[in-house]
Amino acid sequence: MNASASIEPFESVTSLQDAAIDAICNRILECAQQKDQVNISLSGGSTPKVIYGRLTQRDLPWDKIHLFWGDERNVPHDHDDSNFKMVKTVMLDHIEIPAANVHSVPVNVDDPKAAAEQYEQEMRDHFCGQENPQWDLTLLGMGDDAHTASLFPETTAIDASDRWFVENWVEKFDAFRYTLTAPAINSASEIWFLIAGAGKKGALAKVLSEDRQPALYPSQLIQPTRWFVTQDAIA
Ligand code: 6PG
């Protein structure tokens, strides 16, 4: 884990979101000046949802921005639990972005393995056979169980080092999830955690502790470059 990345404390989730929105816009504009594509891996969850919605009010080069999902639930895209539906509702329906730039997970409820393999191939094709996905920015949340993306404690995806994107059986949900693997997250040039709420305090303390047990605290697998954290989540 990148110990050098410092925690940036925020008084409230709103001030965290304000800062994250500006940082994301600056990152996008910086990359868009240098490249013809800006490749972003999105997080699910409630913390980034407001951020996605407010990005629609910014003047961004959506024709250059390629959106991928860092994780997804094994439900159709029109299901209320779908991370795609969340992003579509608050962001995609309010911006002009080429359909080819929106790389949603090809969910196959009955065959999540095939869907994960298909999505990984789409990523590999997009990144032209690179050894790892070259995200310009990966956004991540963290659960109160120290999971990130859909790398949940004591699940097989934690050890999937030879893959970029996998299906992951999560016992506590009695369901499959889809997730980037830790190496496919860590290959990003910027990796930002967005962590808000007192409910995350225990998990964050464990993740930052010397007690290195990534099987129990999967966020320890990640080498973040920035931590956006509300004060009440900091022990
Ligand atoms: C998901 C997310 C998940 C999320 C954390 C934190 O699909 O739910 O990818 O990893 O980031 O659970 O969620 P909150 O931001 O809602 O606390």
The span from the CA of 97 to the CA of 139, in Å, is 19
Question: Once rounded to an integer, what is the mean pLDDT over residues 23-27?
Answer: 98
DSSP assignment letter at 132 = S
pLDDT reading at 218 higher than 90: yes
Element (H, E) at 54: helix 47-55
Q: Is 138 in the pocket of ligand 1 (CB under 6 A)?
A: no
73-90 pLDDT, tens digit per residue, is 999 999 999 999 999 999
Q: 26: pLDDT confidence band, cut at 50, 70 and 90?
A: very high
Is there an atom of ligand 1 within 6 Å of 186 CB? Answer: no
**pLDDT at residue 1, rounded to an integer:** 45
* Average pLDDT over the chain, rounded to an integer: 97
Residue 212 pLDDT more than 90?
A: yes
Task: Give, using CA atoms, the residue closest to atom 2 of ligand 1.
Answer: 44
Q: Is any ligand 1 atom within 6 A of the Cβ of residue 179?
A: no
Residue 4: per-residue pLDDT = 60
> Which are the contacts of 211, defined by CB distance < 8 A and separation ≥ 6?
217
CA 88 to ligand 1 centroid distance, Å: 16
Work out the average pLDDT over 122-137: 96
Quote the ligand 1 centre to 101 CA distance (angstroms).
Answer: 23
What is the residue with the minimal CA distance to atom 9 of ligand 1?
Answer: 44
Q: How confident is the model at residue 34 (pLDDT cuts 50, 70, 90)?
A: very high
What pLDDT is recorded for position 129? 85
What percent of the chain is modeled with pLDDT above 70?
98
Q: How far apart are CA 86 and CA 39, in angstroms?
A: 19
Whether residue 37 has pLDDT greater than 80: yes
Q: Whose structure tokens read 């940082």? A: 23
Residue with tokens 């699940």: 155
Ligand 1 atom nearest 83 alpha carbon: 7
Is 43 close to ligand 1, i.e. is its CB under 6 Å away? yes
Ligand 1 near 141 CB (within 6 A): yes
Is the CB of 218 inside a 6 Å radius of any atom of ligand 1?
no
- Best CA proximity match to 136, nearest among 60, 84, 206, 200: 60
Give the Cα separation of 143 and 82 in Å (integer): 17
Q: Ligand 1: does its nearest atom lie under 6 Å from the Cβ of 224?
A: no
CA distances from 62 to 128, 140, 160 (A): 21, 21, 32
Q: How far apart are CA 46 and CA 227, in angstroms?
A: 17
Predicted pLDDT of residue 2: 47
pLDDT tens for each residue of 161-195: 999 999 999 999 999 999 999 999 999 999 999 99
